[in-house]
Structure 1
């Protein structure tokens, strides 16, 4: 099992319907390729954590590099895992007053300069954020 975390600059507006399109196509393709993880949008930045077979993650990264909805992909960390940290694939958007990378890692509100952050801290954030969203979704469903 392989994992990868990257950041990129979003080229679509924060409230764009393209976010739904990302969610739908990612769910379908990632399920097919046995990839799980979490896509987080904060300000004008995407941060994504992925886990699955290395060849499938490499293929996905090549597709993402061609995606017009963002630019400047920078791989922050990658390596091997013995077990998955996230059992499914989710996407989260940070709005005012929600759990943000800048809160956890003490990063400036004006820019996510996360390339200097410890990648393990980013993975912990992504897992915690996905868990928080899962709890909110489960509460809303009941």
Structure 2
């Protein structure tokens, strides 16, 4: 089992209808490949975690890199995992406010991320916990 976490910036703000269409496409494609995960959108930015067979994730990530709806794609984690963290969703989804996105522990703007920063992989568990908290514990 493999996991990739990435973030990116949308090329333009997405409407609720555009987000709904994106989600429907992602869920259908992910179900067909046995991929699970979660997607957070806020402040015109995406953060996504995908889980599945490594080969399937490599192909999906390559496709994501060429998706014209976003830019500045930055991979934050790419590793083997013992088990799925989002097994119940082909793609969980949540929109968050600009303030919520800014509150994410370990959050860095995609275009400001220093990929040479030591210990970047140490953020893997923090990113995972953040994704879980936003998806599993919706704020009211």
Pairwise TM-score range, normalised by the shorter structure: 0.7 to 0.9
Question: What residue in structure 2 maps to residue 131 of structure 1?
Answer: 136
Question: What residue in structure 2 maps to residue 28 of structure 1?
Answer: 28
With over 3 angstroms needed to count, the CA separation of the structure-2 counterparts of 1:42 and 1:80, relative to structure 1, is: same
Distance in 2 (CA, whole Å) between partners of 1:19 and 1:36 is 18
Distance in 1 (CA, whole Å) between partners of 2:3 and 2:129 is 13
Cα deviation, 1:45-90, whole Å, max 9, x if unaligned, reads 1111111000111110111111111012111111111111111121
User: What RMSD in Å do the two structures reach over aligned CA positions?
Assistant: 2.4
Please state how far the C-alpha of 1:20 moved relative to its aligned partner. Answer: 1.0
- Counting matched residue pairs gives 131
Distance in 1 (CA, whole Å) between partners of 2:21 and 2:76 is 25
Cα deviation, 1:86-140, whole Å, max 9, x if unaligned, reads 111211110367xx343241758xx46566672321111111211124x98xxxx
Question: What residue in structure 1 maps to residue 70 of structure 2?
Answer: 70
Structure 2 spans left out of the alignment, 5+ residues: none
Cα deviation, 1:1-37, whole Å, max 9, x if unaligned, reads 0000001111131435211111000000000111111
Distance in 2 (CA, whole Å) between partners of 1:17 and 1:114 is 30
With over 3 angstroms needed to count, the CA separation of the structure-2 counterparts of 1:95 and 1:29, relative to structure 1, is: same
SS at match of 2:15: coil
Distance in 1 (CA, whole Å) between partners of 2:58 and 2:107 is 29
Conserved 8 A contact 1:101-1:125: no
Conserved 8 A contact 2:106-2:126: no
Structure 1 spans left out of the alignment, 5+ residues: 137-142
Question: What residue in structure 2 maps to residue 49 of structure 1?
Answer: 49
